[in-house]
Structure 1
Amino acid sequence: MPDSTQLRRAVTSSFLGSVIEFYDFLLYGTASAVVFSQIFFSGLDPLAGTVASFGTFAVGYVARPLGGVLCGHFGDRFGRKRVLVATMTLMGAASFLIGLLPTSEQIGSWAAVILVLLRLLQGIAVGGEWGGAVLVSAEHSTSRRGLWAGFTNAGAPCGMVLSTAAFSAAASFTTEEQFLAWGWRIPFLLSVVLLAVGLFVRTRVEETPVFRAAREAEAEAEAEREKGRETGRDATGEAAPPPRTPPLLEVLRHHPRVLLLAIGTGVGAFVAQGALTTYFIAYGVQAGHPRQTVLNALTLSSALAVLGILGWAALSDRTGRRPVVLSGAVLMGGFAFALFPLMDSGSALLLTLAAVLGQAVIHPMMYGPLAALYAELFGTRSRYTGASLGYQLAGLGAGFGPLLFAEVNRSSSGEGALFISLVIAGFCLLTVLSVLLLKETSGRTLDDSGPAGLPAVDEDEDEDEDEGRRAAPAP
């Protein structure tokens, strides 16, 4: 099949997969804020029920790195496509079962226990989805890798828009009593329709040529190991290749600095994302804006963010990943000090301007190129694991950022907004420092089958050391 056809299918599959995964994942967040405290924690007082409900929401973020490790291991060993079919199925099934889950009045505390378990499965699914979806697009592309991989990141705000629209529609067409009784279940049950569409597209995508080449090279290496099992030498008399290291151990043992820099590069974007989405709603309502006005501003900025992500990702193909991400981090660090004054102005127009500038213009500069950048940081044998783990650990900033902001605001008498801005700027500074310690990756090919290259200052020295270890004869 022509490479262009497979590339289109790969990009479409990655985009739809990201939309579906984040539709389901973020739908849970809306439900946590609106109904879950009354449905699954009705035995608690309202405040405690809300805290418990948001606690189950946070479980999903904690599970995401676990999903990245598990799915990354199998994706690096057995292929990207198989794992991606599994992650999509797992997410769709978990969301559908949430829509069928009995309430605490029907089965008591078991309702909350099952809810947490299903949320855990959601977190594992979305944690494993991102890395594989990015690699399917990146490893099928031969040019404009930033743009094609960026479609995976663009799926996240699309999923947010769809989940918000689905929940709003369900609330609009039911009374409050009907909504609490069964209306909230409709958006979760509809996920099975999205699942069917997504699986139809995903199963038509072939395994990436980069991974197939790596598997062939691994098979040849295994044959050499068999020949040299008794003598310690291969057929040419050279030292037999060592057994393959598990992907996670390869990342942690040989490339911990790459992983740490990957986390530092992404964490600023995720902390800013937490401020511009989850905390934006809470602070906007606290500042006196009607909840619907805040939600409308967030929906508009999320829709426009799709264009921003793709635009900045495409620009990174021309200028490199580092200049775009660096510019975004610097601008976001400065914008953090304008965000809350705009929201405190009392003007719906300025509130919307803050949302659009932050989420649709500046944040995509940091976030759009990340998909290609993370794929380029690691070698084929550990790329799924390394990219997923780095991204999901950085993503904890989005999960716990709003909790940090709320605590800072509570403990800072009258100066909460200033201190929150300082926190955001501090994480953006961490991103700047991390990117400065990386070499530009946009010119790198992804068809290597060896260990990850280290795109840091002493890359060549580290690679020489790795080569020396591999070439050293057995004693």
Structure 2
Amino acid sequence: MSHTAATGHRTPTRRELMKVRLASGIGSTIEWYLSFAYISAAGLIFSQQYFGALGPNALIVSLGSVAASFVASPLGGVIAGHVGDRHGRKSALIGTLVLMGLASLGMGLLPTYDQIGVAAPILLVAFRFVQGLSTGGEWGGAALMSVEYAPPAKRGFYGVFSQIGTPAGFVLSTAVFFVLQITTTPEQFESWGWRVPFLFSVVLVLVGLKVRTSISESPVFAEVQASHAEASVPLAEAVNGYSWRMVLAGGSFVANILAGLLLIGYLLPYSTTNVGMDASAVLPLLTLAAFLWIGTTVLGGSLADRYGSRAVMTWGYLLIGAWAIPLFMLVDTGSPAAFAVAVNILAVGLGLSYGPQSSMFAALFPSHIRYTAASLPYAVGGIIGGGFAPVTAEWLIERTGTSISISIYLMCFVAISLVSLALLTPAHFTGWPKETAASKISQPEGQAS
């Protein structure tokens, strides 16, 4: 019987590793699929059917309700992190999927303002908040399950399966809305068609639950349990002993989430409303860029196993920063070809800076508090970088009259992430203390690269 170098436990079979990667990726894909479905519905449906009583402010409030998920995510990270660090990654991941399914079902069946009055928008925001609780706990568990199962030399590659959920969720959401638009009349879509994406997600959640209940607990956490090393209060230990690492980890993420939401949450309305491009031309180009983002995310994680997570993320951010001004200059031409170049190069930078994140975050924190300590920087970084990204970008355009202001906004956040990565030193990467020096050589994210 073979054993892993890191834990001394039985080496998982190829079938088990495949199921773990699937379990990791399916939750993050559903999470982002629902997020994009909500963003789409907020602009198309919710402003009329749930916030219409607010008159001219209905659209702004409806789009603002998107932020309820980001606000809830740190709390979700704390709750799921406590469960994951005390009782196991598997239990927490099952819980996040259940929450996700309940919130989606609630949205899909929720009566409108005309039917139940002010309770409708209140319940809608409440369901969005519950989505955020799920989101805050989902990423940390999904990332750790993959990375903690991985061979030491392949943690970067295994970690990408929680990362590809963002572009994959966008592709899935776009496909579902496209099918609905060509198979229903405008009246049917407004009446019941918009509910289909949320109800369909319940089916996805059930599939995800079947996969997740079939996998075993993370071998790394199994060792924590076997040695009775669980933290009594993971949050307190994480904050007291690793707060600076958490700050730097969150800082390393803010530019990526901002650039990602500009790509898949802002450039469509910007290019159609401000530039005058046809949505039927823009949406396929954004979808192709999302596919490229998936590919370069896998590439980024694989390169991290060879060159180190910090180095690869730095390359990605340097590309995003250098491309921030040309990005909008090309989009502003109104040319589909120029738009395609703009978004595809941005997608490369996004993949390189996003792919290594799971393995890097895992390497920063010890296993007995890792779920909590990794989830909080991700959630808080998501609020700072992405919680209000589309709204801020639109405000900048209205105030300055030029897209250069958005480029500068993005470049400032790139600078924050680059500084955060630079301040992370080899002394911060203590997440795998039991590995031999030879194993550490094959796991570069703990090096100064």
Structure possessing the higher radius of gyration over alpha carbons: 1
CA deviations 1:429-451 (Å, max 9, x no partner) are: 111111111135998663769xx
Which residue number corresponds to residue 410 of structure 2? 424
Query: Equivalents in 1 of 2:386, 2:425: separation in Å?
Result: 26
Which residue number corresponds to residue 473 of structure 1? none
**Equivalences for residues 133-282 of structure 1 within 5 A:** 133-142=142-151, 143-218=153-228, 244-282=231-269
Query: Equivalents in 2 of 1:151, 1:212: separation in Å?
Result: 21
Which residue number corresponds to residue 311 of structure 2? 323
2:370 to 360, 374, 383: 383
Runs of 4+ in structure 1 displaced over 3 angstroms? 440-449
- State the secondary structure of the residue aligned to 2:180: helix
Query: Equivalents in 2 of 1:283, 1:42: separation in Å?
Result: 23
Give the CA deviation at 1:292. Answer: 2.3
Moved more, 197-206 or 267-276: 267-276
Distance 1:194-1:432 versus aligned 2 partners, 3 A rule:
same
Q: Name the amino acid aligned to 1:420.
A: I
Q: Name the amino acid aligned to 1:101.
A: L
TM-score, normalised relative to structure 2: 0.90
Q: Name the amino acid aligned to 1:118.
A: F
Give the CA deviation at 1:218. Answer: 2.0
CA deviations 1:275-301 (Å, max 9, x no partner) are: 222121222111111122222221111
2:98 to 89, 94, 103: 89
Give the CA deviation at 1:245. Answer: 4.7
Query: Equivalents in 1 of 2:287, 2:40: separation in Å?
Result: 13
Query: Equivalents in 1 of 2:426, 2:341: separation in Å?
Result: 33
Query: Equivalents in 1 of 2:223, 2:434: separation in Å?
Result: 9
Q: Name the amino acid aligned to 2:321.
A: G
Which residue number corresponds to residue 341 of structure 1? 329
Give the CA deviation at 1:330. Answer: 1.2
- State the secondary structure of the residue aligned to 1:345: coil
Query: Equivalents in 1 of 2:167, 2:426: separation in Å?
Result: 27
Residues 380 and 448 in structure 1, CA contact (< 8 A), matched pair in contact too: no
Query: Equivalents in 1 of 2:318, 2:109: separation in Å?
Result: 46
- State the secondary structure of the residue aligned to 1:218: coil
1:41 to 51, 58, 69: 51
1:308 to 280, 292, 296: 296
Query: Equivalents in 1 of 2:16, 2:267: separation in Å?
Result: 39
Residues 322 and 440 in structure 1, CA contact (< 8 A), matched pair in contact too: no
Q: Name the amino acid aligned to 1:439.
A: T
Query: Equivalents in 1 of 2:428, 2:176: separation in Å?
Result: 38
Identity across matched positions, percent: 39
Query: Equivalents in 2 of 1:141, 1:122: separation in Å?
Result: 29
Q: Name the amino acid aligned to 2:94.
A: V
Residues 210 and 447 in structure 1, CA contact (< 8 A), matched pair in contact too: no
Which residue number corresponds to residue 62 of structure 1? 71
Query: Equivalents in 2 of 1:295, 1:392: separation in Å?
Result: 28
- State the secondary structure of the residue aligned to 2:53: coil
CA deviations 1:288-337 (Å, max 9, x no partner) are: 11122222221111122111100111011011111111111111111001
Q: Is 2:351 aligned against 1:351?
A: no
Query: Equivalents in 2 of 1:320, 1:303: separation in Å?
Result: 24
Query: Equivalents in 2 of 1:403, 1:357: separation in Å?
Result: 23
Q: Is 2:418 aligned against 1:438?
A: no
TM-score, normalised relative to structure 1: 0.86
Q: Name the amino acid aligned to 1:102.
A: P
**Structure 1: which 5+ residue stretches go unaligned?**
222-243, 450-458, 460-475
Residues 91 and 121 in structure 1, CA contact (< 8 A), matched pair in contact too: yes
Which residue number corresponds to residue 7 of structure 2? none
Which residue number corresponds to residue 392 of structure 1? 379
Count, aligned residues: 423
Q: Name the amino acid aligned to 1:283.
A: Y
Which residue number corresponds to residue 441 of structure 2? none
**Equivalences for residues 71-110 of structure 1 within 5 A:** 71-110=80-119
Q: Name the amino acid aligned to 1:216.
A: A
Query: Equivalents in 2 of 1:258, 1:380: separation in Å?
Result: 15
Query: Equivalents in 2 of 1:185, 1:395: separation in Å?
Result: 27
Query: Equivalents in 2 of 1:318, 1:441: separation in Å?
Result: 19
Query: Equivalents in 2 of 1:441, 1:40: separation in Å?
Result: 51
